[in-house]
Amino acid sequence: MRQVYEIMSSNTVPSAVIRRMPRYYRYLGDLLSRGITRISSADLSRRMNVTASQIRQDLNHFGGFGQQGYGYHVETLYNEIGHILGLDQEYRVIIIGAGNLGQAVAKYTNFNKRGYKVMALFDSDPALAGTIVGGNPVYHVDTLPEYLSEHPTDIAVLSIPKVGANEVAEVLIDNGIQAIWNFASLDLQIDPGKVVVENVHLSDSLRVLTYRLKQLREAEKGTAE
Ligand code: NAI
């Protein structure tokens, strides 16, 4: 099965499908932790509020994992999706910017449990260098190239203001970083062939929430009139 989707998944899977995979993974992990070993496609679709055909289409991008009349074997599907998402290995992570956000990420122990091993933080504030956050050392950002030459690292979290973020990203990429989890509110100007970037905008999610709140209140007002 693995060989099948490795062939099928080579850069052809739409990004909307990829973005739904972590949710499948989360639901299946929840089912597993509750001892549920098998789930029908209808039941999974009802729990996730996604049509059964959407689930089938999504999984077909990777070869499909269900069986007619059986549904899905939860552990197998969980492991396969984990493999698709690259979660069956560990990643070394550094955090650039040891302020409120960087410290919160460093202290969130679930990342560690899930295989994202935070190794160190870096900051331009000399007062922070030499401190420990969430059990990890904080170094001055000027020492990044030296650190990276000695400690191969997979992912950098960018939790600094947008001013200077692009310059820091260039240093990261020049020193071997291939994945950036970018919280700085700017689009990094970098060569997409060399590095993958996930931009995180908590405020986008909050704005969608306020839109939905507005819709809900308008609907309530409409039914009250
Ligand atoms: P903060 O001010 O507490 O921390 C920022 C840290 O970055 C400071 O310790 C500062 O010394 C350091 N820093 C600044 N320039 C640097 C550089 N060039 N190299 C290394 N370190 C540098 O701010 P906070 O609350 O932690 O937020 C950090 C950034 O993340 C802010 O720009 C904020 O706008 C952004 N942010 C984005 C969110 C999102 O959803 N995308 C959510 C929250 C914050």
Say how many Å lie between the CA of residue 121 and the centre of ligand 1. Answer: 12
Domain 91-203, second-level architecture? 3-Layer(aba) Sandwich (3.40)
Provide the token pair at 161: 């203001």
Residue 11 pLDDT class (50, 70, 90 cuts): low
**Pairing mode, strands 155-158 and 136-140:** unpaired
What is the per-residue pLDDT across 176-209, written as a single tens digit (0 to 9) for each?
999 999 999 898 988 888 899 999 999 999 999 9
CA 93, 95, 99 angle in degrees (round to 5)?
Answer: 155
DSSP-H helix ranges across 9-67 = 15-33, 41-48, 52-60
Whether residue 96 has its Cβ less than 6 Å from ligand 1: yes
Whether the per-residue pLDDT at 1 is higher than 70: the answer is no
What letter does residue 137 receive in the DSSP assignment? E
161 lines ligand 1 (CB under 6 A): yes
Count of all residues that appear for the chain in the document: 225
pLDDT digits (tens, 9 = 90+) for 138-172: 999 999 999 999 999 999 999 999 999 999 999 99
| Side chain identity, residue 51 | T
Give residue 185 CA to ligand 1 midpoint distance, Å: 10
Cα separation, 156 vs 148, whole angstroms: 11
**Residue 121 in contact with residue 137, Cβ under 8 Å?**
yes
**Ligand 1 atom nearest residue 125's Cα:** 11
Q: How far apart are CA 102 and CA 82, in angstroms?
A: 26
User: What fold characterizes domain 10-84?
Assistant: Arc Repressor Mutant, subunit A (1.10.10)
pLDDT tens per residue across span 68-104:
778 899 999 999 999 999 999 999 999 999 999 999 9
Tell which residue, 37, 16, 17, has the closest CA to residue 79. 37
Parallel/antiparallel/unpaired status of strands 38-39 and 72-73? antiparallel
Domain ranges of the chain: 10-84, 91-203
